[in-house]
Amino acid sequence: MAFGQPRIEYKTNSQMRIMHEAGLVLSRALDAAVAAAVPGVTTKHLDDVFAAVLNEAGAKSNFLGYHGFPATICTSVNEEVVHGIPGGRVLEDGDIISIDGGAIVNGWHSDSARTVIVGTADPEDQRLSDVTRAAMWRGIAALATGKHVGDIGAAIDDYVSSVPGKPLGILEDYVGHGIGSEMHMPPDVLNYRTSHRGPKIKPGLCLAIEPMLVRGGIETAVLEDDWTVVTTDGKRSCQWEHSVAVHEKGIWVLSAPDGGAEHLVPLGVTPVPIP
Ligand code: MG
Ligand code: MG
């Protein structure tokens, strides 16, 4: 990159509108995978269901082949935090599974993750998922109201530490990221408060905001498959993620059909469609 060029890729409105198309395909594919996550099915089945929606829409997967990754989604069950590989594992009643996927339309990327509790939920797992999801929306709202990328992590951190009951840990080994002509781009989007404000939030910035929370310690390890990340204490973990665009009129959640209105309006932020 030439001297004086921005390190961050700022998108035009028309580029962000294509990213929104990629986000809408992704949202539908996640709907299908989430609906398919019931006791007795394999994680491979969820991958097949997800891939079928992408194929039907003519979208490409950005996960398949990424550094050799063999599937279109990551399926991370229980103590698996992220990057679990779909396969023969059969989902059991009470499992908590994060489904993380992405789609490419005309070269523009989207990335989003949801957590599902299969069958009967342990109330503490339900709380873990609810808090992680709410933390993600706090982070997204901070993208609209904040001045710097560091405001996102601060909002997530403040929210998680304000929740009554047993404290939940915020993972530090994995973070959110810029997204656009590639899936993973600068800047990093931390999920916790630091003394660094980070880059300024300005139109054209597109971020994947993805808090990962755990019921125990935040130490992680990578399994022998070189992909699956687990908590070292075996405690359960959870991830929620959306891709979000900043434009001159406001923000729009690219991977949500309503731009995030349902969850952002109660937080005082009204998403605005990309002009
Ligand atoms: Mg993801
Ligand atoms: Mg991501």
Dump pLDDT digits (tens) for 2-27: 566 668 999 999 999 999 999 999 99
- Mean pLDDT value across residues 61-85: 96
Question: Both tokens of residue 164?
Answer: 């009554």
CA of 215 to the centre of ligand 1 (A): 20
pLDDT in tens, 97-120: 999 999 999 999 999 999 999 999
Centre of ligand 1 to C-alpha 3, Å, is 31
Residues lining ligand 1 (ion), CB within 5 A?
Answer: 100, 111, 113, 241
Ligand nearest to the CA of 240: 1
Residue 113: nearest ligand to its CA? 1
From the CA of 209, how far away is ligand 2's center (Å)?
7
Q: If you write DSSP's letter for every residue of 198-256 in order, what string do you get?
A: -SBP-TT-EEEE--EEESS---EEE-TTSS-EEETT---EEE-BEEEEEETTEEEETTS
Ligand 2 mean position, distance from CA 147 (Å): 22
Domains in the chain, please, with CATH? 13-267 (3.90.230.10)
Tokens at 84, concatenated: 């679990």
Distance, CA 236 to ligand 1 centroid (Å)? 18
Ligand nearest to the CA of 179: 2
Strands 96-105 and 73-77: antiparallel
Give the ligand whose atoms come closest to the C-alpha of residue 83: 1
Is the per-residue pLDDT at 1 higher than 60? Answer: no
pLDDT in tens, 124-143: 999 999 999 999 999 999 99
